[in-house]
Structure 1
């Protein structure tokens, strides 16, 4: 399935040049319709005690009209390439909820959402609305960082055929399908990575396992290679392919290392709903890598996922 509709969530007052450049490249490669969306709620205006209700409503409309005029200036490069593009604005305090409701109305195939870099050290800031959108967006969500893509987009799928991260098996297929879709759109190359971790010798208490620890390690490696090979077979890939990487270490460490080594532009990962207590105690891989990751992150949910936010 091709990408037919792209929703771009813009932050008013922030530099949108890079996210628009990426949206343009995706639309040009897929022929998709693009819609620019902006939740332009202004707390300072809303909290003004000098305005009565009618004056406040006029001020809100005037503010939105000004933002709309600014957004219209951004559509030129799309129109020059005959890419269908539209604008939509809303006035809502809770931005993540506004974006999800827009998704439910517009039914895009993918949402582009900017992540803001906030220090010279390259760290990024994630507010509560970012995390809510990551958890609740019902379609693939591309978290766009301030880093340009290479000419030939390097796309990698991070899969987990043993479901060590509570990942439903069908999610791996969705991850691979979306990675392949991005590769076709960007005319790039597909890469796949999987990481696993064998228990250290010191953590083995069974004396029978201790005596054959190396044999146990070989068995675990062989099982991971076999499972990954079975997953990749429909895609014409094998575990011996240069495009496939296995790393034996903690998942978050392996991903960060791999993205830098392979010069990845977009990493496609899966996300599953977790209970609040589990999320606090364990943390998700996304939470552990997102700030330090030197690539954009495409977050894919299981096909049966339903957002708790409704229209």
Structure 2
């Protein structure tokens, strides 16, 4: 699993210093090419009554030329570091769809997309385009925050042997493969975390089950430990390895604590389509941690994922 091409979505008006720094670190470590991409659209320009059709087209082209000039300046600084780089600009109202179509054309190995922090609350705010991109991007999507990686990047693979998909082990192996590849690329270290909930006593209504509640808890733990061990074995790891952590509790809470305790820079996590509502949800854990977690996230789809957006 090589990283040869990196697509970096550089949005207008954002401080992209961390986005570019992380893209450079990946490109340098992997010997990869970077493509800087921007989707342009200006509603005020598009809706202006001052332009006829030809004048509107010229105005749009002028807007895009300005974006190209900005990206070319960034590209020049990247080239000075010996990294191959190209740029691409398009005019499209729906940014997420434009990015996915670019992915289908360019076939990158990974996409870097910056998300913005709410200035007052300290949480990250996801707009509709962010969520659509998370749902639809067919290649690994790295969601970059304005927080630098440590010199020795701490990368954690969030595994769940009981994913709600046809082949949970296949998705977990893909998560582990990508986490391992990122670690090799940035010369970091790998961690593995599995968070699971045990059945609360209040949920037991059968009086026969209540009497053996502790036994049920032990059985649940054992099942999770065994399933995780089976996935980790080919990677030379086990549940007793110091790199591996099992957390009991609600995943959306324990994952936040784990990232802070272990000083994680990048959490690699799977996104699972959820039947009829997969257009609204990509997995409850991702939805509940994205705006609060203090690290970047890399969202991995199942190998059989197909985006509903076509080229």
TM-score tier by shorter-chain length is over 0.9
What is the root-mean-square deviation of aligned Cα atoms in Å? 1.7
Q: CA deviation at 1:162?
A: 2.3
Task: Determine the structure 2 residue equivalent to 1:128.
Answer: 128
Which region of structure 1 is more displaced relative to structure 2, 159-168 or 136-145? 159-168
Gap change, CA 1:281 and 1:3, over 3 Å in 2: closer
TM-score (norm: length of structure 2): 0.96
Q: CA deviation at 1:198?
A: 1.2
Note the alpha carbon deviations across 1:50-97, whole angstroms, 9 max, x for none. Answer: 111111111111111111111111123321221100000000000000
Preserved contact between residue 160 and residue 167 of structure 1 (Cα < 8 Å): no
Preserved contact between residue 272 and residue 282 of structure 2 (Cα < 8 Å): no
The alignment partner of 2:35 has SS state of strand
Gap change, CA 1:276 and 1:114, over 3 Å in 2: farther
Task: Determine the structure 1 residue equivalent to 2:265.
Answer: 265
Task: Determine the structure 1 residue equivalent to 2:112.
Answer: 112
Task: Determine the structure 2 residue equivalent to 1:9.
Answer: 9
Preserved contact between residue 198 and residue 220 of structure 2 (Cα < 8 Å): yes
Task: Determine the structure 1 residue equivalent to 2:75.
Answer: 75
Task: Determine the structure 1 residue equivalent to 2:217.
Answer: 217
Note the alpha carbon deviations across 1:162-192, whole angstroms, 9 max, x for none. Answer: 2368873311111000000110011000000
Aligned residues: 311
Preserved contact between residue 273 and residue 282 of structure 2 (Cα < 8 Å): no
Counterparts in 2 of 1:1-311, with a 5 A limit?
A: 1-163=1-163, 168-275=168-275, 277=277, 284-311=284-311
TM-score (norm: length of structure 1): 0.96
Preserved contact between residue 5 and residue 108 of structure 2 (Cα < 8 Å): yes
Instruction: Give unmatched runs, 5+ long, in structure 2.
Output: none
Instruction: Give unmatched runs, 5+ long, in structure 1.
Output: none
Preserved contact between residue 167 and residue 272 of structure 1 (Cα < 8 Å): no
Note the alpha carbon deviations across 1:276-309, whole angstroms, 9 max, x for none. Answer: 5477699621111100010101000011111010
Distance across 1 between alignment mates of 2:158 and 2:54: 52
The alignment partner of 2:58 has SS state of helix
Which region of structure 1 is more displaced relative to structure 2, 294-303 or 272-281? 272-281
Distance across 2 between alignment mates of 1:179 and 1:271: 15
